[in-house]
Amino acid sequence: MIVSIIIVLIVALIVIALWVSAVQQHKEKQESERRKELTKQKAIIEETEEALMNSANIPLSEYIIRILQRRIYEALSTMVTNSPNSKALKSRLNEAKEHLTNAVQGNNNETLSLPSNDKQLVSLIQGIKKLRVILRSEHNKGRVDSQTFVAEDKRLEKLQLRINIESQIKRGLSARSANMVGSARQYFEKAHATLSAVSYSDDYVTAKRQEVEGYLEAISVELRASNASALKKKNEQEQDDLDVLFAPKKKW
């Protein structure tokens, strides 16, 4: 009888130990998933805040600013859900909510000044690419309607094209002024190829294509004139050599 009781107690202890272990593992798994979710949302917030800061260099419309602010708010809401006792997160969530209720002044002007530094130029292009990725992500989540997505993505695409074309033209003109005709032609040809590959046509694309074609034609004229001049000099030099070769020998 005592042996049976002991066996039952041992089995009960084993079952309790397994249950406690399972509960502990479940809690650890939940905590790990909670931390992963917090890390994910924190990364989303940092990425979105960086995109908002780029508004100093990239003209962002009111729609884009609202989309970015909403993204931050949704990420903070998720973080508060996972950390309901965090006063800091709740405070940030209230600030994000206030930003959404306040008026936003967007910038629909598509003109922008290009940085002279290549590193800054690359950073500007990368900033626009990140904005397009964020916009597509929010559209896929159903937070941005298709009409707004298409319009804003097209606007960012045009900005990206402008930066690309203007920088190529700027480099081409700089190379041309330095008498680096070959390099200048390469820059202009690259700009022309980019414009020709665009799937749409507007006043900017048409005007810039004509401008680039004008530069390429001017370079071709310069090269033809230079080649003709070089050929003329060569022929004159050859004629001079023949004249010397067949000239009557002087008698001394």
pTM above 0.85, yes or no: no
Residues 75 and 188 in one domain: no
For residue 91, what pLDDT is reported? 94
- Same structural domain, 128 and 38: no
- Say if 1 falls within a structural domain: yes
* In-domain check, residue 243: no
For 200, list phi and psi in degrees, rounded to 5. Answer: -130, 170
What is the sign, positive or negative, of the torsion defined by CA atoms of 92, 93, 98, 101? positive
In a domain, 204, yes or no: yes
* 180-187: average pLDDT: 90
Q: What percent of the chain has pLDDT over 70?
A: 84
Q: What is the dihedral of CA 11, 16, 19, 24, to 10 degrees?
A: -140
Place of tokens 């390469």: 186
CA dist 91 → 41, 84, 114, 200 (Å): 16, 12, 38, 46
Does the residue 122 lie in any domain?
A: yes
Residue span of the structural domain in which 135 resides: 110-232
Per the structure, how many domains does the chain have?
2
Helix (H) or strand (E) run with residue 138 in it: helix 118-140
Whether 74 and 161 map to the same domain: the answer is no
Tens of pLDDT, residues 50-94: 888 877 778 888 889 999 999 999 999 999 999 999 999 999 999
Q: Are residues 177 and 217 located together in one domain of the fold?
A: yes
Examine the pLDDT at 45 and tell me if it is beyond 90.
yes
Whether 248 is covered by a domain: the verdict is no
> 49 with 92, same domain?
yes
Chain mean pLDDT for the chain: 83
* pLDDT at residue 252, rounded to an integer: 46
Beta carbons of 68 and 127 less than 8 angstroms apart? no
One domain, residues 76 and 184? no
In the structure, what pLDDT confidence band is assigned to residue 180 with cuts at 50, 70 and 90? confident
Q: What is the pLDDT of residue 242?
A: 43
